[in-house]
Amino acid sequence: MGTIEPSADGDRYVALHESPRFRALRRTSNTFIAWASGIFYGWWFLVILLAAFAPDLFRKELVGPLNVGLLAVFLSLNLVVLVTTAYLRFARTRLDPLSDRIRADVEGGVR
């Protein structure tokens, strides 16, 4: 079928996986994911704990029918949008240039 020996092609990807550039890409991605997850899950657990142990706080009315519980849900939804937007920007500015360099090394040129 193909003229490329499968073991040679596999060795190329093993070498890529162990390369410093790929390790830097993984480290950069994992660092952002850890921080974003910590912030999001920290907020989420705080809201759950407050709802469980301080329900009177969540019932406190702020303006008209809006209470603290509804505000917490609204802020949670906004946090999802904020984290998603931050990741898209981070990926575009930090991860994509690294991955483009790695792809150029593997494929032998830029697409």
pTM greater than the 0.75 cutoff: yes
Q: Which two tokens stand for residue 40?
A: 């999001």
Q: Please write the tens of the pLDDT for every residue from 67-78.
A: 999 999 999 999
Going by C-beta distance under 8 Å and a sequence separation of 6 or more, which residues neighbour residue 94?
A: 28, 32
Position 4 scores a pLDDT of 47
Domain ranges of the chain: 6-107
Query: Which residues have CB under 8 Å from 36's CB, separation 6+?
Result: 83, 86, 87
Place of tokens 């190329």: 12
Using one digit for the tens of pLDDT, what is the confidence trace for 24-60? 999 999 999 999 999 999 999 999 999 999 999 999 9
| Cα(93)–Cα(6) distance, integer angstroms | 35
pLDDT score of 2: 44
pLDDT average, residue stretch 82-101: 96
Cα dihedral value 34, 35, 37, 43, nearest 10: 150
